[in-house]
Amino acid sequence: MDRLVALAESTGADLAIANDPDADRCAVAVRNPGRAGEVAAPGTGWRMLRGDEVGVLLADHLMRRGVRGLYATTIVSSSLLRAMCAARGLPYDETLTGFKWIVRAGGGSEPLVYGYEEALGYCVAPDHVRDKDGITAALTVAELAAGLKAQGRSLTDRLDELAAEFGVHQTDQLSVRVDDLREIGTAMARIRAATPTTLLGHPVTSARDLLPESDVVILHTDSARVVIRPSGTEPKLKAYLEVVETVADGDVAAARARATAAITALRAEIATALGL
């Protein structure tokens, strides 16, 4: 991405898109408008969009094109897609992490038309590629960006519109690499034995333990969510964090600033609860 952003800057591009070597994932960088809570690439006016941001942009684009059917994501992705589907009368499902689960979302009750996971995986055309596919995702991002540019707008403008409508859904991740895998088991046991009753000063309204199906603990308050699990591919313990801030009087920037402060505080609370 550093090389891509440098190339985009040198050529005066509006948008930078990369695929990984087997082209099943898609990364997107945009010119950074300097909004609160967003960090540009070092020394540049660009920033890489989070997987959740690209995920909801693609979903919104398909919805606006009239694509009806099941929209799906995973338990560690942003809850914004759920809110969008609820408001627009579209079926929604949430699965365990991985596209082997996403493509089976809904149990066949509705045809899957879109699925994504926050780790830069998107399925925008399941009739063609029923898996994460970075090529069709890149084409769809380019289509969306071109349409917005023709209106004098950008991807970040569309993200602000979604925030104004549904609230700022700020996501982040606490990821801890360990040398001894037993440390992960100890941390998971700790959070199960002493599950927080409050987060950010708000009562924990739901605490779900997905054992024995999956080694996952999910905590909810009225405005935050934490999903804790061991990585399936690396010696890491991961906590996926989300806070939701309502936008008052159209002031998206202020809501983003509050969300950034809240996610920082939430990260510290969860690190303490896990004994990290």
Q: What is the pLDDT of residues 94-138, one digit of tens each?
A: 999 999 999 999 998 899 999 999 999 999 999 999 999 999 999
CA of residue 129 relative to chain centroid, distance: 21
Across the beta sheet with 26-31, the strand order is: 15-19, 26-31, 46-48
CA separation (Å) from 199 to 203, 212, 219, 221, 259?
A: 7, 25, 9, 7, 14
Query: Mean pLDDT across the chain, nearest whole number?
Result: 94
Question: d(Cα 15, Cα 238) in Å, to the nearest integer?
Answer: 30
Strand partners for 206: 220
Lowest mean pLDDT among 68-72, 106-110, 203-207, 265-269: 106-110
**Do 242 and 224 form a contact (C-beta atoms < 8 A)?**
yes
Q: Judge whether residue 37 has pLDDT over 50.
A: no
**Do 216 and 210 form a contact (C-beta atoms < 8 A)?**
yes
Q: Judge whether residue 160 has pLDDT over 50.
A: yes
Mean pLDDT, range 211-226, rounded to an integer: 97
Q: Judge whether residue 80 has pLDDT over 60.
A: yes
Residue 203, amino acid: P
Structure tokens that stand for 15 in this block: 């948008």
Strand partners for 227: 218, 240
Query: Domains along the chain?
Result: 1-165 (3.40.120.10), 167-273 (3.30.310.50)
DSSP 106: G
Residue 65, amino acid: R
Torsion angles phi and psi, residue 30, rounded to 5: -130, 160
Query: What is the value of pTM for the model shown?
Result: 0.94
